Structures are given as C-alpha cells and as structure tokens.
Amino acid sequence: MEHVVIIGNGISGVTAARHIRKLSNKKITIISAETDYFFSRTALMYVYMGHMKFENTKPYEDWFWEKNNINLKKGYVQTVDTKNKALHFAEGDTLNYDKLIIATGSKPNKFGWKGQDLKGVQGLYSKQDLDNLEIHAPNNKVCKRAVIVGGGLIGIELAEMLNSRNIPVTFLVRESSFWNNVLPDSDSEMISQHIKDHHIDLRLSSNLKEIVSDENGKATLVIIEETGEEIVCDFVGLTAGVAPNIDFIKESDIETNKGVLVNRFLETNMPDVYAIGDCAEQHETIGHRKPIEAVWYTGRMMGEVVAQTICGNKMPYKPSHWFNSAKFFDIEYQTYGWVHSNRNKPEYETHFHWKHNDNTKCITIAFNTNTNEFLGINTFGIRMRHEVFDRWLTEKREVDYVINHLREANFDPEFYRSFEADIQKAYKNKMATA
C-alpha cells in the first residue's frame, strides 16, 4: 500500500491528510516535532488571554486520528534522502515514504541581533513559545516591561496579549506608521493612534540595535538603533515577520529559495515530493499574491488541492480573490482584493478613504483610475460579507456600483442606516474634486 508521509501537523498538513483519507485507503503518517495533536495556531493568543484552554484549540478530538486510520508520529525530521525515499529523525530512527508532503510552516525571523537568543527573548509562533511566555511574562511582577520588535499582525497580537495582563509594552516598529508597508497611510495612521490609545509605548521609525544580557544570560535591556536609548525590560518579543521553516531541507536535492519551490501543482523538483502551506514558494506568482502565502486559509486550500493530485486527480492550486482578516486590539480588519500601501501602489490605483469621527471605523476602496473598476477594499471596525466582495471582484464592478451597494455587503445594517449617506457624500465630494 502506498505510504504518504506528511511533515507538519498544521492546517496544511492535516487538511491534506484528511482529504487523502476521504479519497483513498493509502497509508498516511503525519509527523510533528511540536505537539501530539493538531491545534489552531491562530487561537494561541486567546489561551494566554484566558479566553480558552489550550485543550480547546484542538479542532478534532484525540480519537479522530486513529478512527480515520491516520498515524501520528512525534519527532524532528533532520534530513530528507530523496534517493532512498527516507526521512532521518533527530531521535535516530528512519521512516520511508512513497509520497512526501512538506508542510513545515514558518519560523519567526531573527536578523542576527546581538542577544537574540538570550533567555526571555522569543517569537510568538509555537506551543513552546506560549509555554515560554508563561515563564518569562506571566504577570507584571515577573515582567515589569516587555519590548516587542516588529510591527506586523503577530506583533500587535503579542502587544494585546501582554496588555491583557497589565504588562507595560514598548513596541518598536521600523516603519514611520504602523504596518504602512501594507496599509495605505490613512488606515495605518488610524491604527497607530488606536495602539497608542491602549497605552502601548509605540516607537515608530525605531529599530532594535541590541539586546543586553544580565549575569544569568537573561534579557535585561534593549538598545534602540536610531537614538541609542536603553529600555530596561524582562521580556523581548521578536515579531519581525516569519520565514519558511525549511533549514533541514537545504542539504537535500529538493530545490529551495526562501521556501520550498513548487509549481502550480505544488510539486517540487523531486518526484513524489510536494510542499504546501507557509513553507511553499510558488515559482511563478499568482496575480498580485506573494510567492509565499503565510495565512491559514491558503494552507488549507493547498492541502485540499495536493490531496486531489496525490489521489490521481491532478489539480492546480488556483486561489480566488485575495482576502484576509485580523484584529488590531478592538478594531476588526478585513481586506478583499488589492488595496496597496502608498509605497507599493501601482500608478493606476486610486483610493477613496472614509473615516468615522470616533477614529475606530474607516474604509479604503481602491479602484482603477482609467476604467473605474473596483480593485479592493479595506474595512476597519465594520464587518463585511466575503461572498459579496468576491462576487463583485469577479464581476469587475465599477467603484460607483460598489459605493451604491455597500449595504448589501455589510453585516450590520444599523451601521449603514447611520453612515451610508456620509460615505456616499464623501465619495461624491472626492469625485467632484478629482
């Protein structure tokens, strides 16, 4: 019987296993060095914040795997021998595969800062990171101040987590406004203000120079590159992005760049070896998408697609329109299609921005200046319907249509009863002065 081995028990690896099981009776083994069972990484913050127990982050009961005849193996794969189709484990044993799926996810970036490996310095990615956070930042007596380095989606989650335990946070952000390498300036400025409103000591245009150790090898202060300022702290969170977790593959014959290189069928250069999820890098980008997509739903989609291919129904990875969502403290964020930052905006892309006076709600709509085609929307503090924007993007609706039908896309009719006229008036004014 063909043996499919999957390295990684995250959303992508587990989705692949579930779908292969639905489609076939192949032998399946999932390997992980992290946890015995699949858990929802996106829920880690809620465990620390006391909203749920770690046990509740497991989407499947522990008996699910045996019942579905999916073998689970705990262990760290150290080398992949594609000639003999064998995996060698750090623990000393070996496992053979007929088909191999690499689904090893990401790891937090470390840019060679002095002190980056001290005690009390860590990323926020794994179950081990959560455990270490409980050791080094359980409360504001053990941790009198935390410093977070890197202002992306994981950085802001960490800020919210520490804040929930009343630990003072200094947040070092390289950009001149929070996440303005991704968000248009107007959106980014509102979020920067919101972060400050939560009493986070937000330091913009600030880079980490060095983390200094105490006599026990534990972080005790950080030095800021630009000013030389020293900030005394007990915990340093490194959240300057993630990179594919593939160091162990570099010595193999499998072609890699930043991630494991794959074609549209998620096949690597080696026969019977596939890569999916955060660790996969597309040879050719798909539309405006990045070659590496480190988000939950794309990992799930890749898992579904690779299962089809492995079970004889060869299928390309063809994601639909881009979307994503996150939360910045109290403000929910959703994005559909493409709304580029001021730095990355193509010449033809124009933005219409509306913000509510209370500084917790805004929208930015991107459209093509020449054709008026709707290109994408960012919404903050307003929940929208995915399927409506997906449809409008497919139908290539004009921006006027979108503005006039926003109510259809909105989850909260009350909001639109109050603000629709204001948004439409602002849009008309913008068009009149354009």
Which of 178/374 has CB closer to ligand FAD? 178
Nearer to ligand FAD, 234 or 293 (CB): 293
For residue 155, give every residue at least 6 positions away whose Cβ sits within 8 Å of its Cβ, in sequence order, or none.
148, 149, 171, 173, 237, 239, 240
Residues with Cβ < 8 Å from 409, sequence gap 6 or more? 384, 385, 388, 389, 392
C-alpha–C-alpha distance, residues 258 and 280, integer Å: 9
Distance of closest approach, residue 166 Cβ to ligand FAD, in angstroms: 21
Which residues touch 109 (CB under 8 Å, ≥6 apart)?
A: 123, 150, 238, 240, 241, 242, 243
Q: Which is nearer to ligand FAD, 102 or 224 (CB)?
A: 102
Q: Which residues pair with 267 in a beta bridge?
A: 274
Per CB under 6 A, 7 contacts ligand FAD: yes
- Of the pair 298, 364, the CB lying nearest ligand FAD is at 298
Q: Is 299 in the site for ligand FAD (CB under 6 A)?
A: yes
Binders of ligand FAD among residues 68 to 107 (CB under 6 A) are 76-77, 103-106
**What is the spatial distance between Cα 325 and Cα 10, in angstroms, rounded to a whole number?**
19
Q: Per CB under 6 A, does 304 bind ligand FAD?
A: no
From the CB of 369, what's the least distance to ligand FAD, in Å? 31
User: Closest approach of Cβ 49 to ligand FAD, in Å?
Assistant: 12
* Binding span for ligand FAD by CB under 6 A among 40-48, 251-259, 359-367, 412-420: 40-48
Give how far the C-alpha of residue 72 lies from the chain's centroid of Cα atoms, to the nearest Å. Answer: 25
Give the residue with the Cβ less far from ligand FAD, 126 or 364.
126
Applying CB under 6 A, the span of 38-46, 142-150, 258-266, 349-357 interacting with ligand FAD comes to 38-46
Site string for ligand FAD, 324-363 (x = CB under 6 A): --x-------------------------------------
Residue whose tokens read 């204001």: 422
The answer to whether 158 and 48 have CB atoms below 8 angstroms apart is no
What's the rounded Cα separation, in Å, for the pair 334 and 143?
A: 33
Q: Which DSSP letter does residue 377 get?
A: E
CB 67 within 8 A of CB 75: no
Give me the least distance between CB of 32 and ligand FAD, in Å please: 5
Please tell me the distance from the alpha carbon of residue 151 to that of residue 134, in angstroms, as a whole number. 22
3-state class (DSSP) for residue 100: strand
Residues in touch with ligand FAD (CB under 6 A):
7-13, 31-34, 41-42, 44, 76-77, 103-106, 124-125, 154, 157, 245, 248, 277-278, 294-297, 299, 326
